[in-house]
Amino acid sequence: MREPWLVYTVEEDVSDHLNVKGYLRGRQQFSRRLVRRLNAQEKIYLNDQPARLKDLVRPGDRLVLFPLEESLPLEVDGAPQVSVLYEDQDLLVVNKPPGMVVHPTKAHQEGTLVQGLRALLQSRGISRGVHLVNRLDKDTSGLVLVTKDPLSHQRLSRSIGEGRVTRSYLAIVWGYWPSPRLELALPIRREPGHPMRREIHRNGQRAVTHVQLLERCPAASLLEVDLLTGRTHQIRVHLAAIGFPLVGDELYGTGEEKPIQRQALHAHKLIFPHPRTGKELSFRAPLPGDMQELWNMVRRSAREDMRCQ
């Protein structure tokens, strides 16, 4: 058996009738599905003995969880190269280029980020899963956080829900942005009758976006955008809804000229607690070449009497 993934010492204030299942579900906020998988694979040990979910826990008990075993397909054909910025035994941080789909779909069977990551690990003789903590649209570039096991994914997903993960994007939008900072709290739902589009609607899911102005020119503005929630197309929908669509966005744009071949959106900063140690990790990915070239063009086009600021 591999090295333990998590080790808990049961706290002094636990109930006399709390069992292993209740401890993992209640105290540690594990999902029902994850607890079932750990139990089915016999990865839960209590005081160095295999544990049953109904076994009672007492103060001072040692509860140990081992990594889950995962059955993975062999990834060879069509697996792309992946730019890895950081890797340890639990996770990777990668810089996704524009044009790369994260998961295989009917329309994109090969060349996906997941295939590239699986091939990378398999080339090292590592049979581990890949679990995306954050996902980017095909034509959005930047940082993607990936875990190698469901336990790490569970903890990082919980960290996002608790507001302990910073996800910042750089965006270039059409128009002269009006204010230094702005909060957008506009609920989002799937647009009826459209397979991809989302829309603002009072009955939609809660969606909150914070926007900070970095630089603005007469024709376009450069923004830093933080996600407080993670709805599909959230940044694109929010900015378009208030009249500042992303440059190059064919789905939510206004049909203006297209000086870049994708939406000008880049996930440039990730800050999160490590799922095992709790240590804060911070990563940045610089503005990619096509967006840097776009912004340089915007600056050059500004008239002398209407300079960027």
Residues 6+ apart with CB under 8 A from 139: 98, 99, 248, 262, 263, 265
Average confidence (pLDDT) over 90-109: 84
Pair (109, 258) in one structural domain: yes
Who has greater pLDDT, 76 or 160? 160
Pair (61, 94) in one structural domain: no
Average pLDDT, the chain: 90
Pair (225, 266) in one structural domain: yes
Pair (122, 184) in one structural domain: yes
Pair (43, 155) in one structural domain: no
Domain harbouring 33, CATH code:
3.10.290.10
Pair (48, 196) in one structural domain: no
Residue 74 pLDDT > 60: no
Catalytic residue among 61, 90, 137, 290: 137
Containing structural domain, residue 119: 84-306
Is position 149 within any domain? yes
Q: Give the CB-side neighbour count of residue 99, counting CA atoms within 13 A.
A: 7
Residue 28 binned pLDDT confidence (cut-offs 50, 70, 90): confident
Q: How many Å apart are CA 40 and CA 4, to the nearest integer?
A: 17
Domain harbouring 92, CATH code:
3.30.2350.10
**Count of domains observed in the chain:** 2
Pair (246, 298) in one structural domain: yes
Is 137 assigned a catalytic role? yes
Pair (49, 122) in one structural domain: no
User: According to the model, what pLDDT value does residue 226 have?
Assistant: 98
Q: How many Å apart are CA 208 and CA 210, to the nearest integer?
A: 7
Between the two ends of the chain, the Cα-to-Cα distance in Å is 59
Residues 201-228 have pLDDT tens digits of 999 999 999 999 999 999 999 999 999 9
Pair (48, 102) in one structural domain: no
Is position 284 within any domain? yes
Is position 33 within any domain? yes
One-letter-per-residue 3-state SS of 232-255: CCHHHHHHHHCCCCECCCCCCCCC
Pair (61, 207) in one structural domain: no
